[in-house]
Amino acid sequence: MSSALRTRLLAVLATVATAVAGLSVRALTDGWFGKYAGDALYTVLVYALIVLVWPRVSPVRVAAGALVFSWVVEFAQLTPIPAALSEASVVARLVLGSTFGAVDLVAYAAGAALAGAAHALLRRRASERETASP
């Protein structure tokens, strides 16, 4: 199996696991932990989707892309558009949110950093396995 296909399969698994984790955290926890863990997982989900589309992109670039996307969505909440769309659709509410929160920006950065670190570690291990095998 090619490394790109293997990476895409792992990205699909990460996407599903992250979506389940994000929805579960929001449903099962209250307070700041649930909110900010959900925000961080939002960026991890975006990260996994980027890897799904571009499996060979470096972890640093994927993390930057996921972070920029998340921040753009957050800053868009300073306009009335996401709130209006969120009122009309549950999906829009999950993707766009409705109100701006500056602390959310930090949670997104944490999610991007953690996803990037995990991705870099997995890449390093895969590279070591390929180098070690005859």
Task: State residue 18 phi and psi, 5-degree precision.
Answer: -70, -40
Nearest to 93 by CA among 78, 110, 105, 81: 81
Cα separation, 126 vs 123, in Å, equals 5
Residue 98 has what pLDDT? 81
Residue 27 has what pLDDT? 87
Residue pair 40/108 in contact (Cβ under 8 Å)? The answer is: yes
Nearest to 38 by CA among 82, 62, 70: 70
Residue pair 107/40 in contact (Cβ under 8 Å)? The answer is: yes
Residue 134 has what pLDDT? 61
pTM of the model: 0.90
Q: What are the average pLDDT values for consecutive 10-residue runs of the chain, which has 134 residues?
A: 87 95 89 91 97 95 98 94 88 86 96 97 86 69
